[in-house]
């Protein structure tokens, strides 16, 4: 009879890049990591769609040679419930902004260290936003970010909530009731939606708080 705890299942990855050598290199990168497994790959998102029910994270290049846009690709992947991490060599700030606005969990460069890439993959697979300097720089250079016109108290609540505090802690530190905090969060989401910057999830609220400099970015 065998005793002891069973090992956790490996994180299942799909990788989309239109360069075969990059796909092979990424597969090699994670090949010796027992908690990571590339179970699908291809040059377009169509190549992996049939596997998305079994995928924990999609690693996606921002620019693909099939003519698709990052916004379209993310819309399709999100409609299947996929989490997406951008993995790119792109230096075009407009491409990086488009990826951020379309809802990637983070932007990781192909030139990053092995340790940084693996850390980002593991964290993003659990739904954690990956705040890199590339992502912050893209947001800083965005001329189209419209103010949500939050009140000082709404800014305080958002800063606390987006930093990872639970509602009960936010309430205590802001001098509000838990119900009032929930109402503030609802109003904050509404204001961002009206500004054309929707924040449906806590990850989105984190991004908005960084964009509006209510909490430090990754390069602070």
Instruction: Out of 3.40.190, 1.10.8, 1.10.10, 2.30.110, select the CATH number for domain 152-211.
Output: 1.10.10
Q: 198 with 139: CB under 8 angstroms?
A: no
Q: Which CATH architecture has domain 11-140?
A: 3-Layer(aba) Sandwich (3.40)
Between CA 183 and CA 195 the distance in angstroms is 19
CA-nearest of 147, 141, 136 to 192 is 147
Confidence of residue 216 (pLDDT cuts 50, 70, 90): confident
Tens-place pLDDT, residues 159-207: 999 988 888 999 999 999 988 899 889 888 878 876 778 888 888 898 8
The more confidently predicted of residues 90 and 184 is 184
Confidence of residue 33 (pLDDT cuts 50, 70, 90): very high
User: Would you call 10 helix, strand, or coil by DSSP?
Assistant: coil
CA distances from 28 to 19, 23, 87 (A): 15, 9, 15
Look-up of token digits 């990424």: 26
Q: Would you report the helix, strand and coil content of the chain in percent, each value rounded to 5?
A: 50, 10, 40
How many residues are listed for the chain in this entry?
220
CA distances from 104 to 21, 162, 204 (A): 23, 17, 10
Between CA 82 and CA 84 the distance in angstroms is 6
The more confidently predicted of residues 4 and 209 is 209
Question: CA quadruple 170, 176, 182, 188: dihedral positive or negative?
Answer: negative
Phi, psi of 60 (to 5 degrees): -125, 130
Strand (E) or helix (H) holding 67? none
In this structure, the dihedral spanned by the alpha carbons of residues 145, 150, 152 and 156, taken in order and rounded to 10 degrees, is -80
Among 44-48, 90-94, 139-143, 204-208, the least confident range? 139-143
Confidence of residue 2 (pLDDT cuts 50, 70, 90): very low
CA-nearest of 196, 128, 190, 203 to 154 is 190
The more confidently predicted of residues 16 and 7 is 16
> How crowded is residue 111: how many other Cβ atoms within 10 Å of its Cβ?
9
Q: List the domain boundaries for the chain.
A: 11-140, 152-211
Between CA 106 and CA 85 the distance in angstroms is 5
pTM above 0.75, yes or no: no
Between CA 198 and CA 190 the distance in angstroms is 8
Question: Which is it for strands 11-16 and 57-60: parallel, antiparallel or unpaired?
Answer: parallel
Between CA 62 and CA 70 the distance in angstroms is 6
């Amino acid at each position: 009879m065998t005793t002891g705890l069973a090992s956790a299942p490996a994180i299942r990855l799909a990788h989309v890049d239109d360069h075969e050598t990059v796909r092979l290199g990424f597969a090699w990168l994670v090949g010796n990591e027992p908690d990571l497994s590339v179970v699908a790959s291809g040059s377009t998102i169509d190549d992996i769609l049939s596997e998305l029910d079994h995928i924990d994270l999609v690693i996606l290049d921002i620019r693909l040679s099939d003519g698709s846009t990052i916004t379209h690709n993310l819309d399709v992947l999100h409609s299947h419930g996929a989490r997406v991490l951008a993995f790119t060599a792109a230096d075009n700030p407009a491409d990086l902004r488009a990826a951020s606005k379309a809802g990637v969990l983070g932007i990781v460069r192909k030139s990053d260290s092995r340790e940084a890439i693996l850390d980002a993959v593991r964290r993003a697979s659990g739904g954690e936003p990956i705040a890199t300097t590339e992502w912050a720089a893209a947001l800083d250079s965005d001329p189209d970010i419209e103010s949500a016109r939050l009140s000082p108290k709404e800014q305080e609540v958002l800063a606390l909530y987006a930093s990872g505090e639970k509602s009960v802690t936010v309430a205590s530190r802001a001098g509000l009731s838990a119900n009032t905090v929930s109402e503030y969060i609802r109003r904050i989401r509404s204001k961002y939606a009206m500004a054309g910057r929707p924040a449906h999830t806590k990850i989105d609220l984190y991004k908005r708080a960084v964009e509006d400099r209510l909490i430090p970015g990754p390069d602070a």
